[in-house]
A and B are shown apart, each in its own frame.
Chain A
Amino acid sequence: MLRDITIGQYFPGNSLIHRLDPRFKIVITVLYIIMLFAGGTYTGLAIGAAYALIAIALSKIKPKMFVKSIKPIMPFLLITALINLLLVSSGEILWQWKFLKITDAGINISVFMIIRIVLLIAGTSLLTYTTSPITLTDAIERLLSPLKKLKFPVHELAMMMSIALRFIPTLIEETDKIMSAQKARGAEIDTGSFITRARNLVSILVPLFISSFRRADELATAMECRCYNGGAGRTRLRQLKSAPRDYAALFVTAAFLAGVIIIGRIWS
């Protein structure tokens, strides 16, 4: 059961969105975020929503998945809404109790915030749903590569990230094994009070840490044996090639963004 855990939740597929160059997808996602924050009006938000819905439809990923992506942030969403609702003091007062009051402007801002955050999460989830973590890492490395000139360790960060991704399943398997071993010795991990369980967690984490260090040491030797010498002069098996569709997608996104900005200007 532990093995099923995935990070970033990638749904393999072959839709238009899946096939887009990951570098473009990242840039487009950034533009989309700007789109949501550039338009301070419901019209702007509606355009953003339309954009997100079209993209989600094109990705052929079940809408249920996007509802799921919202769930974990529900508490955060509610707290934000409540704070806005109760503490915004401008506008016409509809209800009041001591220092807490609900105004029409407060309701307005709360609703606006909720829609904006939901769109933000659903839209950005599309990026991780349609791009495998390793491709994403690769794209980030290439997008950030200009920073190498500033001595920013772009390659090293990407390598660390991809090794981490590589070892997630291995370490999960190992955790499973250690847990079984400790349970066999009578450690209470699933039962007992919170304190007991927390204390027993140490008996899993310590062996896991030790073995991780040993693995890291062996992996480093193996990498050196395969002539690893940092990022300089490396070539890549994975080639990222941009196609006309990538430019088209970028253009469409830019057009939406421009629309949101222009409409926002006219409104105010």
Chain B
Amino acid sequence: MNSIIKIEDLHFSYDSDGGKEVHDEVLKGIDLTIEEGEFVAVLGHNGSGKSTLAKHLNAILLPTKGKVTVDGIDTADEGRLFDLRRRAGMVFQNPDNQIVSSIVEEDVAFALENLGVPYEEMRRRVDEALRSVNMYEYRLHSPAQLSGGQKQRVAIAGIIAMQPKCIILDEPTAMLDPSGRKEVMATVKRMNREQGITVVLITHYMDEAAQSGRVVVIDKGRLIMDGKPEKVFAQVDRMKEIGLDVPQVTELAWELNKAGYDISPEIITEDQCVDALLRLIG
């Protein structure tokens, strides 16, 4: 496998002109390598620096110190900015504030229009992208007629149309209702599985992180945990220490384990939990 994102000793602070405000550093030396096709969830509570980290992946922010490379492109290389942004698309939290056009299909085409893609190819890629997020039948609607989850799927289609290698989603479900969250998560997972697009999902929902292939925990600007979701969540003590929850099933298994029962806390889904409990009883 090839690594698509390489972050080396990333430091970042806002208003770093004077270089005096070292104590205001938001990111304090992050090293992270993400392989092509991975589905990585970045967890952390408010102010942990996880969104700041996401913004470095497509050069919205540039490192104060250190280096970020995406698909071989240094994010600090201004000459290749659009090249970089085409490869690493970004979906934001508020669906309303990232939809540009008043017609769904035209919004999906926005990036392609900017890149000067010829009409026939644009038409094909827009239709494909809309189908892949199951929004094709809404292509002529106005975004105002759509639900939050649908709008967010349109925003994702707008990124997919660029045919990126990697998609960064910055808390894409934070403003959605539960059914909207499900729609978006299903879309993201399908994209990762079927199209092999690398996904970096910034979130503070544990159940969403549990659906990923790898969880990275950020706290106070430092990367403190990195591993399979089972392994990360099983460290319930440590997660609670930094103010994060774990999925309910993990906590249940962990409590049982602590009470002396023979059950592994490396459980993140309800099915796993049911199986383990049955084994325990039977």
Interface of A with B (CB < 8 Å)? 133-134, 162-163, 165-166, 169-170, 173, 215, 218-219, 221-229, 233-239
Contact = CB atoms under 8 A, between A and B. Distances in A.
Contact of A237 (B98, B105, B116): B105
A235 B114 CA distance: 7
What are the 8 closest A-B residue pairs judged by CB atoms, nearest first? A222-B98, A169-B144, A237-B109, A226-B111, A218-B97, A227-B114, A166-B102, A233-B116
Contacts of B100: 162-163, 166, 219, 222-223, 226
Interface string B122-145: 110010000000000000001110
A225 B101 contact: no
Contacts of B92: 218, 221-222
Contacts of A163: 100
A215 B97 contact: yes
Nearest to B108: A237
Interface of B: 58, 60, 82, 85-86, 89-90, 92, 94, 96-103, 105-106, 109-119, 122-123, 126, 142-144, 158-159, 162
B58 A227 contact: no
Chain B interface mostly: helix
Contacts, number: 89
B114 A166 contact: no
Chain A interface mostly: helix
Contacts of A235: 112-113, 116-119, 122
Contacts of A229: 82, 114
A226 B110 contact: yes
Contacts of A170: 96, 144
Contacts of B90: 222, 225
Contacts of A226: 85, 89, 100, 110-111, 114, 158-159, 162
B115 A162 contact: no
Given A218-B92, A237-B109, A238-B106, A166 B99 contact: yes
